[in-house]
């Protein structure tokens, strides 16, 4: 599990950068805050989703809509409620995300025959094609965000985050 060594430390990395460019903030990396996993998680996701959103803009998608599309393509036929739970969003946010994707013909919304209150979201053929493109973009974005880690480290990170993300107390 602990594949930490390898790679260059963030400090070494930044020391190599042209002084004064991203200046100032490395001083703050020695603070208590910078040691908090929650802070690091927040910063990593802010940078990562910022980049992904910029790169997905070509396809008229954001990380949010991409995520819904991805699950719609999964074959698991999620309901909107499940999408909300899984993506940590309010059900009303899912409504508008699905609205947009449905409007552009990427997904369909059908009443679940076993519980007609809930709507099953499924990708159309066009939606699956869009997902193929978007997925490549997201992989590229992720690769850039994770450039500091080698493949083994990425696997370690994935495993740890998975447990935090899905066994998150109370």
Interface residues toward DNA, by CB under 7 A: 50, 62, 64, 79-81, 84, 89-95, 98-99, 109, 115-119
125 contact, one of a copy of itself, DNA, none, CB 5-8 Å limit per kind: none
Q: How far is the CB of 5 from DNA (least distance, A)?
A: 30
Q: How far is the CB of 61 from DNA (least distance, A)?
A: 11
| b/e sequence 18-49, b meaning 16+ C-beta within 10 Å | eeeeeeeeeeeeeeeeeeeeeeeeeeeeeebb
Q: Does 57 bind a copy of itself (CB under 8 A)?
A: no
91 contact, one of DNA, a copy of itself, none, CB 5-8 Å limit per kind: DNA
The pair of structure tokens assigned to 108 is 């369909």
Beta bridge partners of 107: 123
Provide the 8-state DSSP code for 112.
E
Collapsed DSSP state (helix, strand, coil) of residue 42: helix
- Per DSSP, helices labelled H in 88-150 are 91-103, 125-145
Q: Does 91 bind a copy of itself (CB under 8 A)?
A: no
90 contact, one of a copy of itself, DNA, none, CB 5-8 Å limit per kind: DNA
150 contact, one of a copy of itself, DNA, none, CB 5-8 Å limit per kind: none
- Closer residue to a copy of itself, CB minimum distance, 100 or 156: 156
Q: Does 13 bind a copy of itself (CB under 8 A)?
A: yes
- In order of 56, 90, 121, the CA distances from 96 in angstroms are 18, 11, 13
């Amino acid at each position: 599990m602990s594949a930490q060594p390898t790679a260059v430390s963030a400090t070494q990395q930044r020391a190599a950068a042209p002084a004064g460019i991203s200046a100032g903030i490395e001083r703050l990396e020695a603070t208590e805050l910078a040691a908090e996993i929650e802070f690091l998680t927040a910063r990593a996701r802010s940078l990562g989703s910022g980049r992904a959103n910029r790169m997905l803009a070509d396809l008229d998608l954001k990380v949010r809509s991409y995520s819904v599309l991805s699950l719609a393509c999964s074959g698991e036929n999620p309901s909107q409620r499940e999408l909300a739970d899984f993506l940590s969003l309010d059900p009303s946010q899912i409504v508008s995300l699905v609205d947009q994707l449905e409007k552009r013909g990427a997904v369909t919304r059908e009443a679940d025959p076993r519980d007609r209150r809930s709507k099953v979201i499924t990708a159309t053929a066009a939606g699956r094609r869009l997902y193929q493109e978007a997925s490549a973009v997201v992989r590229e974005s992720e690769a850039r965000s994770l450039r500091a880690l080698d493949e083994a480290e990425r696997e370690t990170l994935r495993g740890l985050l998975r447990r935090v993300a899905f066994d998150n107390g109370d």
